[in-house]
Structure 1
Amino acid sequence: MTKQHKGRKFFVTTATAALVASAIVPVASAAELKDADSISSWAKEAVQFLTDKGFIQGDEKGNFNPAGTLTRAEAAEVLSKALDLKATGTEDFSDVDEKDWFYNAVLATSPELFDGMGNGKFEPKAQLTREQAAKVIVEGYQLTGKANLDQFGDASKASKWAVSYLETAVANGVINGKGSLLAPQDKISREEFATMIKRTIDAVEDVEEEVVPAVEAVKGLNAREFEIKFNTAIDAQDAAITTKYALEGVGITNAAVSEDGLTVTLTTDKGLQLTNGKVTVKPIKTKADATVLTEELNTLTTFVDTTPVNVQSVEAKGTTAVITFNEHVQNAGTVNVNGVQLTADRYTLSGKTLTITGLTAEQTYKVDIVGATDFANNIAHLLTANFTVSKPVADNTKPTVSTTVNGTDIIFDFSEELVKQNLSAKTTTEDYAKVTVGTKVFYLTDAHIKDATDKTVFTLDAASALGTAQFINTKIRVEDHKDLAGNVGDSFETNAILSKDKTPATLVAASSKILVADNTNATTDVDALYLTFNEPVKVDGNLTLKTKNGIVYTAGNVTAVKANAGVDVDGNGKIEGAEKNTVKVDIDLDSNSIYSFELAAKAVTDLADNVTANTITFNVATGTFETVPETITDSLVFGTTPVLVTDNQVFTVEYAADVTATALTAANYTLGGKELPTGTQLQFIDGTKKVRFTLPEGSITVNGNYVLEAQNIVDTKGNTLKDGKATTQIALKENIAPVASTITAVDSKTFNVNFTEAIAKQDTVTGVTVKIAGLTVEPASVAVTDGKLTVTTQKDFTLADSIVVEFQATNLVDMNNNKVKDSSVAK
């Protein structure tokens, strides 16, 4: 796949200056230089080309001085001309004077390409090294790529800050070594710099000429959507023709083209699951030239959607709320609004949207969706959306930002979500804000969002702004940020100290695990030694056995270790906590033994390239290998009819075989994707195949089909669950008992008793006692109307009379058959 050269960035400001007549006289051709004969043969073509363009000049005597070293001022002038940069900088170097010939060149190049010298000066007469020249050229032309510098014997002498620039320069053929040497810190001659500029221009032109319009990547997004990415903007009309695409096993119903013309999202007619499935993309017209077509693509890919649907957004206006999911949904499951299950006529499901009607403006709602199923049959346990129905209100509030600094990481916390813009003059709209740290410019993008659920917080590693310094006290400026409503935030500026991580990692723990049956006479057993550090590391060095069970070993017994931190030590399928800082060493260990080891000096490197200089000595004790019975298999499953629901609080789950007490451990289950409610009781009934679950009152807040998942259950023969878990759906209803809340007088013989939720109608109400003015009375009637209890007395009462209604073993229930609690209410 060919890469496309990124266009040159330009800065636009109001800074201008008059260029004082140059003290250096430009020449039209290299041949006219008095010392042209002294130019090395390998550099003549480059010097000729650049002097013809007017990018480089001779001195006042007409000499080029090819072997002379290059100053910062001369390099700035060459780059400002070669890149067509204008004097738009805002630098205020104390040693740059408007009378100097290089003034405009400094203003043009210093904001992007040259760093200050840390003393408020530009130091124009300072000479450039090869690594400094590589930096300004790579940054100026935005070159990408990476070469291995190990081929050069002196690569280790390169400054840390310069390594990436040298790698990029070598990868693009911009800089060559001197034989087997790179000479990174040697001063660079004028003819070498001219050659590097010429090679860069050639490399950029070659890359641009090599770009062939083609598909860049294909991937499944979910069970109904597939994404095609192109390396060139394509014609929207041609790309929207569905017959241009083919996915094995499914039909294409829609092809949506992104605004920038680089992405097409395909919608399929049914669930998409590919195992080495064929993907075809026929030639498509390009946006810039309809006569140029993309290359046809035929490839194989595998995609399985295992992620349940989620709520993406809610828009509520007037009497309607539209809930948008992140993928197409085939079954909405059970929809509850404010705890009440909706009937089918109150909502419609279409593609990715669920539309709920019959709402009231300026009212707050909570929608709970249980069991929404996508087209890969993934079930979402419980989706909740809280919103207020209202009329659209114009957002006139500007976004604000606060910053914190941790080492070289700067965390930007914006007051609201930002919109993407094209701030960096790239071909795609991907920037959220422009950030300037000192003189270094960055752009915040999706890559700086560490938490996908919070798109208002960005983390930027600004280590490159330090240059060779260990720390800097600098200004951080944030600007050009815009919220989703188009409000542009005010520029924000603050001072902060950024410092490099210079502290090497330290070992905090060592442990072991015997993985195979012990054989003290063999050294081929492979067990595990776990080394946990205080931060993520890379280990590359020798581990030497020093003692074993008190016996000293003076030679040999060396294990070469080369590993990165990040090991699933507990085998739960996740790398979490201290496991992110843990390295596994494959080594032969004997059970019930005590070892001391020594890890070689400089073997441990952290992510900031700090090396632990000293040897690391540690002790570790081994345990015993635990054998697993050969008869154990992962064969345990639920029974044929696994669930029986007794009422809103009790259900029974049956296994296909007798199980151990592991089935009575609440921690081995989740219900609706969450731990079992606190207070849930589990007990065997009718043997050890059936487990009865008794949920606490109030633990189920909305109706729906909840997924019960079991893990770590073992049957009486030691067999574990097939595939590691078992799931089944349980239809549960809200189990919150209604409680009498208030009494409202209607007239002198009638009053209503209100409850925390509507109660169901009963032909005859029992278990109700009425007291008026302290005396128990026999009501004329007690009935349920509109979800309330209406009581009619035989005699009139006054507004001053006290009224008490007591409920004891009443037959009143709510709409889900939950009994009214024994209680009393008074007026």
Structure 2
Amino acid sequence: MTSKQSSKYKKFIVGAATAALVASAVAPVASAKDFKDTKGNTHEPAIDALSDAGVITGYPDGSFLPNKTLTRSDVVKLMGKWLVSEGYKVPTDYKTNMRFKDLKPTSNDELLQYAAVVKENGVFNGSNGNLLAGDNITRENMAVVIVRAFDTVEDIELVKYVKDQDFKKDVTDLAKAKAEARTAIDVLDFFDITNPAAPAFNPKATTTRGQFATFLHKTIKTDFSEVKAPVVDVDQVAVDAAAEQVKAGAVTVARGNYATDANKLAAVQTYVTSLVTEKDVVATVVAGKTAGEYAVTLTKGEAKAEKTIAVTFDFAADDRFVTEVNALNATQVEVKFSTAVDASDIANKVSIQGVKFTSQSLSQDGKTLSLTAEKPVNATKATVVVEPIKTKADAKIKTDKYVSTITYKDEVAPTIASVEAKTSGNVATNLTLKTSEPIKATGLVKVNGTYVTPVFTDSTTISVSGLALEAGKTHTIELVNIEDLAGIKTVSTSANFTVSVDAAAPAATLSAKGEKQILVTFNKSMDVKSVQNAIVSGSVKDEALNTIATGTVTAVEGSNDTQFLIPVTAENVFANKASRTLTVVLTDANKDKLGNKIAATTQNVTLTKDTVKPVATGYKVIKDDAGKVTSVEVDFSEGLAAGTPALPTIVSENGVAVSNLLGGFTTTVKAGDTKVVYTAKTPAVVSGKYALSFAKELVSDQAETANKSDSFNYTIDFGQAETATTFELTSANAVKNVITVTFPEAVKGGAVANSATDLANYSLAGKPLAEGTTITLDSAQKVATITLPAGSVEKTDQAAVFTVANIQSTSGKTLKTYTKTVGVEDNVAPVLLSAKVLDDKSIELTYSENVDLIGSDVGADFTIMEGTTAINLEAKELKASKVSGFPTKIKITIDKAVVGGASTTLDITKDITVETKASAIVVDKETTPNTQKSGVKVTASKQ
């Protein structure tokens, strides 16, 4: 132990609390998992030890990828496994109670388990309630997670303890870390878990899997027995007792109106206060980051003994409230209700200012309405309106109207949500993969390590055919460089799956869909062509079993081919009756996707004449990227007849009639449209409130006997403009190791904080920019040119992860972290490693990498010495040639004649030395070749 270490702490041995894990972690390397890519790696001992302990695992191909950038999901799994090895249990509700908002029951099962473990024990709290599984984790966040974990396991307070110690701090760039992370980095510094020989911690840089293994292994081996536990006085004991009472009793809050967060908080405060019976203990409640979670602070007496605990409450919902509205990703929004709502009454009931929805679907329990937006959601305090919707239990009772605001922009990378492969036999030839959110039709797909051709069926579905997947075995699928609709990219994500066997016959039920459509619902996904070929003219009959004319059967969008619509095209269906009972013949020609046939059957369905008027269900204000209002959309409860609706009358919030708002509007409705779009003649930024009044009989529906709308009014709040505090970088490009970063506005430069010319604000391939990198700004301070120095890129990589962070504009806005990939080229020169004399004229040279020859005359490229005397050779008097079968070798041969016809030869009795010179002939085999490194001198061996 060095004297410096002695000044920090006295012991560095195995701690009792982690003895069981470390006993296995320090087992002989021979018993560790035999990773094929860790031998000789700096982090090999830690990787082997943690592998033996079962804390870390590798990939199916036998690799560990120690240099792969660590993602947040990697950290969750690693820390979760370690906590489980320490005796912590996976919560039984890990699959039904999502600890992070961006996880779903269909997410990777292993990730769900360990996410629940780390969240429950305060090791990993997420970002604004989200896990952000695909994001890279920075070194500063890694430090925070490790310190939290050991606080939990050891029941200590490392930050508090280290703060009181007097020690020499090794980390030189601590000021670059965020405030929360600085104290955690101090802990790692104090216990020498950081590397004292590398004083720069690089808090903003990403972390590799190997680095994390070393940090975790070092921490496990550290003895924390010197860390004193906090003193607990009698008052604190009383507070702890009250805490246990609150935890035990707080399960369900009585029925009430929980439509707003304020109502929920008030109910929780009342409930917790009623539970605390200890004298002088006062409970204060604040909302947590996760829905339903609250922080309860218990304080006792004048001494202010205090304890804060996290408690999760269930709310016994009243009959009819919207509980929350959340944007899940770039294009999907979710509305949750306290009670089930009627699926037939959800159309166009939700509007968000500036967002245009294209579809909606209701969950089976009727409590979650999912909507899909036309383009990525980018909302700042946008008005959310959920119009009253019929409840499932009683159509006469509707939910209350919900009005709130939402601020959201997608910053979560896409992952794999589920993989399904089925067969009716022993081998599946197809699979279907669902992503966690809509993605662009780009990226690569591997199945069991082999690239395959994907079909992007829709924005969240990838299909692969032509496979031979054996049932009962585990298979692996990997997605590479997938990108969501907001441009967030996941470099790599994978999942394991098994093939399921399904030989069951499908079944069908019928129901009416509107006035003249029959909905056929199957209990399995069907082969669309088989259903369309099976349900043809003659399949639908009237009460006298006469054929009723029908149109082409279509699959219902979003039903996963389980629902099909039969349009009744016969005229005057309701000429004499208000309802018709029809018979539908379903033959065994209807097959599911695996070829299983239904049992032939006939079923009845009743269609009812439409006498309901079309009703306006909400409005949307559409804005362009500059914030200008381009149109106002009014949604209706059903499809409309073609026409040109009248324009509304418009009055300002001051009661003044406005005849030319946005230059006036134009509108046209096509048959079947469920909305009227009023398009602005002159788009502009609008603020304030305006009342719009729409005339009676504005639109008609498409019923056999058309129903016309009543008059209605909307007051539209266009909101107020806000000053942006952040800005985004949209692209960065690299050409021949010069990276050009174009900012949307002028940025800081020079030796100031948050400068665009500070190397620390960038990383490439998970590492800081190489020493010698130069960064310059153009005169407008919008374009940063990053020039990588020679010898800094060891291998060509067309998808090197490039990160930009912590930069500010000259106006004070902060750049949101940018992470994308750029192409970089190998710029390391081939180095002469050795030479061997073959005969008295030829020498074989061996280089550090594969080399090529651009020409054969190399007399100017080398100096050959006999002892201390150089052989005088012109360019053409030394020839170079490749050595067949040895790509790293070339042969140089002396070809110099002397007077009298003899030729120059080597005096092999002397030492023969070869020195490289600047060359354009000897190069490596890169797209942009690197010439040999000059000034390298080797002594040739002799045969």
Given the two structures, how large is their TM-score scaled by the length of structure 2? 0.27
Bigger radius of gyration, 1 or 2? 1
